[in-house]
Amino acid sequence: MGSAVARRLVTAGCTVLTNLDGRSDATRERACAAGMQDVPLPELAARAEWVLSILPPSEAYNFAQSYREAHATAAKPSTGRVAFADCNAVNPQTVKTIAGLFSGTAISFVDAGIIGGPPKDGYDPVFYASVDPADAGVLDDFVGLSKYGLRISPLRGEGAGIGDASALKMSYAGITKGMTGICTAMILAAHSSSPATAEALLHELYDSQRPTLQRITRAVPDMLPKAYRWIGEMEEISAFVGGGEGSIHHGIAKLYERIERSMGEEGDGEDVKVLKDFVQDAKKLIEKNQK
Amino acid sequence: MGSAVARRLVTAGCTVLTNLDGRSDATRERACAAGMQDVPLPELAARAEWVLSILPPSEAYNFAQSYREAHATAAKPSTGRVAFADCNAVNPQTVKTIAGLFSGTAISFVDAGIIGGPPKDGYDPVFYASVDPADAGVLDDFVGLSKYGLRISPLRGEGAGIGDASALKMSYAGITKGMTGICTAMILAAHSSSPATAEALLHELYDSQRPTLQRITRAVPDMLPKAYRWIGEMEEISAFVGGGEGSIHHGIAKLYERIERSMGEEGDGEDVKVLKDFVQDAKKLIEKNQK
């Protein structure tokens, strides 16, 4: 996601800095191909007018803290508005903690949540954004980044503030990745009872829940290679939902861990095979009856 | 469900017995209207050729045990085939325990799972059924009940046995009632962040997940009055799935408990109002853009 967003901005004429200390060669190659400049963090802190944090959720807080420290001691502090937008799939409580790092500094804070896949030709995900009402101007400035090719949607309604863009991202992903997780868990459970049970499930879904079966044929194959990345996000959603219902997405995180194991080189691939076979049979059934 | 199935059988000319000891007047009236005869359990055990157990899941085991005892001591044991079909939403392990009650007796056992709503004019749910391969004949006999207006689908495939019809029912309900639970949990979580967050969720679902939003407009209002009945079923599904993923449906059971509290006379109705408003706004948005 980060490199695709950077490419959009570079294409629009922006200078995009990044700091790749300790990152892999693959990440460096991707960053270079996207037109980003790898600079030390103090230089980034001194030069950048906008910081867009796009990282695995577990790294969001540490990066914000490192940036704030680098900015505080930067040799030549940047002039004019400096703003930090956390665009990560972290829960609203985490984003409020991150926002707290910047209170009392000259750095404005934007809570952003990206809904959709990486930007590509003809497609852009939406950056939802919310801010502290006491610093409302930064939301207009963030929306102003639209002119560089980003699709930005501000949350301005009743009671909106820091945490809401992240809550929206969690709610949306909780539905989409949650529904895929539930379907996956139940296909595996049916098959573990007997192959005949999974086959009957397929036919009953075809008869009485066809849109759900069609969704399965797209969403399950799309999920398999991404499951390992979704584990942390599901745990964030679990913390966001809280209460007894919080265990829904904790269970889905466990399911995605199971998929990651089955996908891995050490795994037996059995779960993945069951899911791929189910999807293939579903597609055949749908195609056969469309003719 | 029980009274609607009985009405189908009575209409087809069957004698349908029931035992209503300790049940409410409302239940008695419903049973009477459906054409059932209320008889003491020993008489039922002596006369019935088929027993269809259709109960809240928590009562399934106790009823099976009471029936077996009544049958063992019945004054005039019935002649010919006697069979007991457990049609309840219990997990496969529970149904295997219930089946065990009848091993070594003259009573055949059918594991049945009903998918769909109560029978009504022009509509019938499906009774999926599986049996011990050593007593395969009873599956044909159960399918024979089709002539009395029931829609019956036997599970005969690879490895099918007792537990599979219940596993199928759990898998199907785990998907349908599970997806509704996830959507409900996330709408409530979004709204608890701010009303603006829930509104943005609605619009984002409209833009990028329209079939899911359409499903919400039907499934959430349908769920509200039934949530209290689904709690036990979600716990059965949780036990069926097991492992770390088992907590998915445990969390959904907790959500349905929350809905039951909000629906109740002691509840403040706030959650129900949030959900109804969301559904109403979704319908308006869909209708407006269809014009």
- Residue in A170, A171, A195 closest to B159 by CB: A195
Q: Kindly state the percentage of chain A with pLDDT values over 90.
A: 85
> How far apart, in Å, are the Cα atoms of B274 and each of A20, B188, B221?
45, 7, 12
Last residue of a domain, one of A140, A160, A180: A160
Does B154 lie in the same domain as B19?
yes
Question: What is the Cβ-side half-sphere exposure of residue B99, based on CA atoms within 13 angstroms?
Answer: 23
The arithmetic mean of pLDDT across residues A86-107, rounded, is 95
Containing B276, the helix (H) or strand (E) segment is helix B270-290
Question: Between chains, do B205 and A175 touch, taking CB under 8 Å as contact?
Answer: yes
Q: How far apart are CA A234 and CA A169, in angstroms?
A: 12
Q: Which residues of chain B fall short of a pLDDT of 50?
A: none
Tell me the three state secondary structure of residue A29: helix
Does B7 lie in the same domain as B146?
yes
Query: What domain range is B217 assigned to?
Result: 166-290
Q: Which residue has the tokens 């036997």?
A: B154
If you average pLDDT over every residue of chain A, what do you get?
94
Q: Give CA A289 to chain center in angstroms.
A: 36
Question: How high is the pLDDT of residue B75?
Answer: 63
Question: How high is the pLDDT of residue A128?
Answer: 97
Count of C-beta atoms within a 10 Å radius of residue A107: 21
What is the residue-wise DSSP string for A148-194? GT-EEEE--STT--TTHHHHHHHHHHHHHHHHHHHHHHHHHHHHHH-
Last residue of a domain, one of B131, B160, B189: B160
Structure tokens at B247: 């907590």
Question: Between chains, do A250 and B247 touch, taking CB under 8 Å as contact?
Answer: yes
Residue A75 has pLDDT above 70, yes or no: no
Q: Give CA B244 to chain center in angstroms.
A: 24
Strand B107-115 to strand B82-86: parallel, antiparallel, or no bridges (unpaired)?
parallel
Structure tokens at A276: 């791929």
| Helix runs in B163-269, H state only | 164-193, 195-208, 210-223, 227-241, 247-263
Give tens-digit pLDDT for B122-150: 999 999 999 999 999 999 999 999 999 99
Last residue of a domain, one of B133, B160, B187: B160
Whether A170 and A237 have beta carbons less than 8 Å apart is answered as: yes
Residues in chain B: 291
| Helix pair angle (B164-193, B195-208), 10° resolution | 130
Query: Which pLDDT band holds residue A79 (cuts at 50, 70, 90)?
Result: low
Question: How high is the pLDDT of residue A173?
Answer: 97
| Helix pair angle (A247-263, A227-241), 10° resolution | 170
Does A178 lie in the same domain as A73?
no
Question: Between chains, do A168 and B116 touch, taking CB under 8 Å as contact?
Answer: no
Does A279 lie in the same domain as A231?
yes
CA distance A219 to chain B (A): 12
Count the domains in chain A: 2
> First CA to last CA across chain A, in angstroms?
39
Please, is B39 exposed, middle or buried when counting C-beta atoms within 10 Å of its C-beta (0-12, 13-18, 19+)? middle
- Residue in B170, B194, B205 closest to A158 by CB: B194
- The nearest alpha carbon in chain A to B249 belongs to A248
Question: How high is the pLDDT of residue A76?
Answer: 59
Does A56 lie in the same domain as A194?
no
Does B118 lie in the same domain as B178?
no
Give tens-digit pLDDT for B207-217: 999 999 999 99
Does A137 lie in the same domain as A174?
no
Q: What is the CATH number of the domain that holds A174?
A: 1.10.1040
Residue A78 has pLDDT above 60, yes or no: no
Does B224 lie in the same domain as B142?
no
Residue A70 has pLDDT above 90, yes or no: yes
Q: What is the CATH number of the domain that holds B150?
A: 3.40.50.720
Strand B50-53 to strand A126-130: parallel, antiparallel, or no bridges (unpaired)?
unpaired
CA angle B114, B85, B27 (to 5 degrees): 70
Structure tokens at A151: 């699709």
The arithmetic mean of pLDDT across residues A230-236, rounded, is 94
The beta strands (E) that lie in chain A are given as: 17-18, 37-38, 50-53, 82-86, 107-115, 126-130, 151-154
Give tens-digit pLDDT for A159-207: 899 999 999 999 999 999 999 999 999 999 999 999 999 999 999 999 9
Judged by average pLDDT, the poorest of A37-41, A57-61, A277-281 is A57-61
Query: Which pLDDT band holds residue A158 (cuts at 50, 70, 90)?
Result: confident
**Letter string b/e over residues B70-84, b meaning 16 or more CB atoms within 10 A of that residue's CB:** bbeebeeeeeeebbb
Interchain contact A227–B (C-beta under 8 A): no
Judged by average pLDDT, the poorest of A21-35, A67-81, B193-207 is A67-81
Residues of chain A with Cβ-Cβ distance to B245 below 8 Å are 185, 251-252, 254-255, 258
Does A65 lie in the same domain as A35?
yes
Does A151 lie in the same domain as A8?
yes
Question: Between chains, do B168 and A244 touch, taking CB under 8 Å as contact?
Answer: no
Does A170 lie in the same domain as A88?
no
Query: Which pLDDT band holds residue A27 (cuts at 50, 70, 90)?
Result: confident
Cβ-proximal residues to B205 (8 Å cutoff; 6+ apart), any chain: A172, A175, B212, B213, B216, B282
The arithmetic mean of pLDDT across residues A226-255, rounded, is 96
ipTM for the assembly: 0.93
Does A135 lie in the same domain as A185?
no
Strand B17-18 to strand A151-154: parallel, antiparallel, or no bridges (unpaired)?
unpaired
Query: Which pLDDT band holds residue A264 (cuts at 50, 70, 90)?
Result: confident
Question: Between chains, do A201 and B252 touch, taking CB under 8 Å as contact?
Answer: no
